[in-house]
Structure 1
Amino acid sequence: MLNSKQCDAFLAVAETGSFDLAAERLCITASAVTMRVQSLEKSLGHLLIVRERPCRATQAGLSLLHYLQHTRRLEQNLLQDLTGQTPESPFYQLNIATNDDSLATWLLRAIRETLLREKIVVHLKVDDQTQTHHLLEAGLVSACITTEQQPMKGCVAKRLGCMNYRMVATPEFSRRWFAQGLNRQSLRMAPAVIYNDKDHLHTDIILEKFGLNIESYPHHFIPSSTAFVEAIEFGLGFGMVPDYQIGQRLHTGEWLELLPDSHINIQLYWHHWKQQSPPLAQLTRDMIDKAPSYMNQQMNTSF
């Protein structure tokens, strides 16, 4: 049998990355945390925590971490199901990971009726669409929107639809920086707008078509979907924008598509644990049912 106090100490260190922070969370001394983790490692016969700054779990530690986090979620779900919805606590909380572009465009439109009807509040964690499944794997969320097609063990993955991205800029920006055309020389001078260092949509296209890596040209990192679009509107740079946010700008001439043959369709998937609470199961059903129409609507209304 696992010792609950030892497991709590290990979980606190793994999640905070520090024995001192774990001690604050558990209201005990750092030395007590150390002793409990050492005792757990001795009883299991494996090193669980690499003592670095920050601390990190070993492979054996990750297995235990996922088990403990999953057990904690099941316990929380059970307690919430048994206690029901009271006047003091009428809402059910769900932790979900999403990419910023989905949040800024179709996501809330697709789930708003479910949130209101089922009395659900969501705590959203935002990351790049290629990274959100790691939050599910780490036990920090119960479901996620991701580009990862294959579910990890214990999870289910279902296709939601796709988001289409185009490389765009204002006419003024294009005249200033691409007067002689879009080529290696002009791209070395023109500032790009990129979401963050995990976002490879822009960099992969430029590398594939022109052989330039990100160090070869000036670029902004703007990790906000709405501010990203504003940066392009203000003429600060050019970048990859989903059709939903492009709207009618290409038709009205406010923006130009710089590489018409290089737009990208990003397939998105909904991942969740096989064992779902009733509210999450309902949200999953509605998400799978409604998300495709909202995601298709973004293309049908734009082009």
Structure 2
Amino acid sequence: MLSSKFCEAFLAVAESGSFDAAAQRLCITASAVTLRVQALEKDLGQILLLRERPCRVTQAGQQLLEHLQHQRLREQNLLQQFMGQSSQHEFHQFSIATNADSLSTWLLKVLQSTLIEHNIALKLSLDDQTQTHQLLETGLVNACISTESSAMTGCEVHYLGQMTYRMVATPSFVERWFKDGIHRDALRHAPAIIFNGKDLMHHQVILNLFGLNQQSYPHFFIPSSTAFVEAVHLGLGFGLVPEYQIGDDLQSGKLIEIMPNAKTEMKLYWHHWKQQSALLQQLTIDLLEKAQHQMNE
């Protein structure tokens, strides 16, 4: 059996990045943290931490870290299921991984009544929709929104709905950069708006339709859904934007859909552990009932 004190010390260092910070978190001395981590490494016969600034876990350390984080999350779920709320002022807390567009458009609206009625506080982690399931797999979150359609071991997956993306720009941007139409040469010079380096939707559309890779044209990285749309409105570039955010702007003419064949449908799925608390199960039920309607408004 692994020593809980030794594991607690290792977890604190791995998550805080230093022995001093871990000592403050555990209310013990830094030397005591060091001794506990060394004892754990001796017991396992593995170096778990690289003593750098900040400290980094080794491959073996990463395996142990994921195990301990997953174990902690399962224990929290079990305690909530057994104990519930002890007073009206206490909140249940769940960790959920989501993509930024879902968070900025429909997610909180869908969950609003459930969160308020049951006193639930969410710890939200943001990542690309193709990466969020890895946070669930490593035990860092209770559930996630992902484009992955297959259930992972020990998990269940449910279809949520789809988000529609359209390639848009302002009329003045079109007049400046695409006055003679949209073609390869024009796209080599017109700036694009892309969420971040993990966001491959824009890259794949331009590559498929025009044979241009991301290095072939100027582009902004704007890793905020609201700032992304604002940048398009300001005429800084053109980009793939959720239809949910710009329906009125397309109707009013503030934005123009410049590539109808670039329309992209992104299917989203809800993943959660098979063993979950009754309250998280209720959150799942409410989410599944309302998500598709909200995304298709």
- Whether 2:259 is the aligned partner of 1:259: answer yes
- TM-score (norm: length of structure 1): 0.89
Taking a change above 3 Å as real, the CA distance of residues 290 and 238 of structure 1, as seen in their structure-2 partners, is same
Whole-angstrom distance in 2 between the partners of 1:211 and 1:257: 20
Whole-angstrom distance in 2 between the partners of 1:87 and 1:243: 42
Deviations 1:89-123 (A, max 9, x none): 33211121111111121112211121122221222
Q: Which residue of 2 aligns with 1:187?
A: 187
Q: CA deviation at 1:228?
A: 1.2
Equivalences for residues 11-50 of structure 1 within 5 A: 11-50=11-50
Whole-angstrom distance in 2 between the partners of 1:212 and 1:143: 36
- TM-score (norm: length of structure 2): 0.91
Question: Bigger CA drift: 253-262 or 87-96?
Answer: 87-96
Question: Bigger CA drift: 253-262 or 163-172?
Answer: 253-262
Deviations 1:121-180 (A, max 9, x none): 222222221222222233332111111223332222221111111111111110101112
User: 2:165 is matched by which residue type in structure 1?
Assistant: Y
Whole-angstrom distance in 1 between the partners of 2:120 and 2:148: 26
Whole-angstrom distance in 2 between the partners of 1:50 and 1:152: 31
Q: CA deviation at 1:183?
A: 1.9
- Whether 2:97 is the aligned partner of 1:102: answer no
Equivalences for residues 161-172 of structure 1 within 5 A: 161-172=161-172
Identical residues among aligned pairs (%): 60
Taking a change above 3 Å as real, the CA distance of residues 96 and 51 of structure 1, as seen in their structure-2 partners, is same
User: 1:33 is matched by which residue type in structure 2?
Assistant: V
Q: Which residue of 2 aligns with 1:216?
A: 216
Q: Which residue of 1 aligns with 2:145?
A: 145
Taking a change above 3 Å as real, the CA distance of residues 218 and 229 of structure 1, as seen in their structure-2 partners, is same
User: 2:224 is matched by which residue type in structure 1?
Assistant: S
Runs of 5+ in structure 2 lacking a partner? none
> 4+ residue runs of structure 1 moved beyond 6 angstroms?
none
Taking a change above 3 Å as real, the CA distance of residues 33 and 152 of structure 1, as seen in their structure-2 partners, is farther
Whole-angstrom distance in 1 between the partners of 2:230 and 2:248: 15
User: 1:144 is matched by which residue type in structure 2?
Assistant: C
User: 2:92 is matched by which residue type in structure 1?
Assistant: Y
Taking a change above 3 Å as real, the CA distance of residues 153 and 45 of structure 1, as seen in their structure-2 partners, is farther
Question: Bigger CA drift: 88-97 or 280-289?
Answer: 88-97
3-state secondary structure, aligned to 2:270:
strand
Whole-angstrom distance in 2 between the partners of 1:152 and 1:48: 27
Deviations 1:186-220 (A, max 9, x none): 12221111111211111222223233332332222
CA contact (8 A) 2:105 2:244 kept: yes
Question: Bigger CA drift: 277-286 or 123-132?
Answer: 123-132
Q: CA deviation at 1:22?
A: 2.5
Whole-angstrom distance in 2 between the partners of 1:226 and 1:281: 30
Taking a change above 3 Å as real, the CA distance of residues 23 and 208 of structure 1, as seen in their structure-2 partners, is farther
- Whether 2:116 is the aligned partner of 1:130: answer no
Whole-angstrom distance in 2 between the partners of 1:18 and 1:185: 51
Whole-angstrom distance in 1 between the partners of 2:254 and 2:237: 14
Q: CA deviation at 1:88?
A: 5.7
Whole-angstrom distance in 2 between the partners of 1:228 and 1:172: 18
3-state secondary structure, aligned to 2:288:
helix
Q: Which residue of 2 aligns with 1:8?
A: 8
Whole-angstrom distance in 2 between the partners of 1:226 and 1:79: 37
User: 1:222 is matched by which residue type in structure 2?
Assistant: I
- Whether 2:245 is the aligned partner of 1:245: answer yes
Question: Bigger CA drift: 172-181 or 154-163?
Answer: 154-163
Q: Which residue of 2 aligns with 1:225?
A: 225
